[in-house]
Amino acid sequence: MVAEIQQFIPGPAGPIEARIGNTIVEALQAPQAIAVIFHPHPLFQGTLDNKVVFTLTRAAGNLGAHTVRFNFRGVGASAGRYDEGVGELDDALAVIGWARSNWGKDLALWLLGFSFGAGIAIRAARPSSARILVSIAPPVEHLALKDEERPLCPWLVIQGGKDEVVSPESVQRWCRNLKHPPELKLYPEVTHFFHGHLVPLRATVTDFLSAHQGSF
């Protein structure tokens, strides 16, 4: 993945601040996908510069995906104000639309999110026809998901067993109770922000993306 550039994407509440990584296209090699990455809660210092978000971006970019990580409305230089997940979903869909218009609708869409961003990614997966979904520590106690809203693509949930923000037990129970549960990877000794565990996190995400990137 080449160095990222700053980009402002038109959004429903005004310009959305983003970092764009364009995959180098060599002879006989085409970009594999578009990866959009979602950051943690805007009211608790969540930004596009979060280390887990950067780790997800690197994992996708190293597999040949164009990448977009961005600030939800009211964060950093993005216009607007926090909208309790409603406007943030609109932001996500606007960024996805921008990416597809720039890189082509035929490229597979990968959505990757952490914490609050994982919840947005889950909700955006079906309406955007995502091909792969990765959600890290999804806030399931605040995520009402009807069966008709359930993602249809290959889906990985990663959860720390000592998460002090998102209940590991709630995540495991929520996954089990879905009609078609996602693949669940539990790190028993890991806290919410994956301190000291970013390298294995990246490896797990890379393995999942690699296993499914040729299945569509």
Lowest mean pLDDT among 26-35, 59-68, 97-106, 204-213: 26-35
Instruction: Find the farthest-apart pair of alpha carbons in the chain and give their distance in angstroms, rounded.
Output: 48
CATH code of 5-212, in short, is 3.40.50.1820
Q: Quote the pTM value.
A: 0.95
Tell me the pLDDT of the chain averaged across its residues. 93
User: CA torsion, points 49, 52, 57, 60, in degrees to nearest 10?
Assistant: 180
- What single DSSP character describes residue 14? B
Tens digits of per-residue pLDDT, 36-56?
Answer: 999 999 999 999 999 999 999
Find, among 6, 8, 212, 1, the residue nearest to 111 by Cα.
212
Tens digits of per-residue pLDDT, 61-111?
Answer: 999 999 999 999 999 999 999 999 999 999 999 999 999 999 999 999 999
Per-domain boundaries in the chain: 5-212
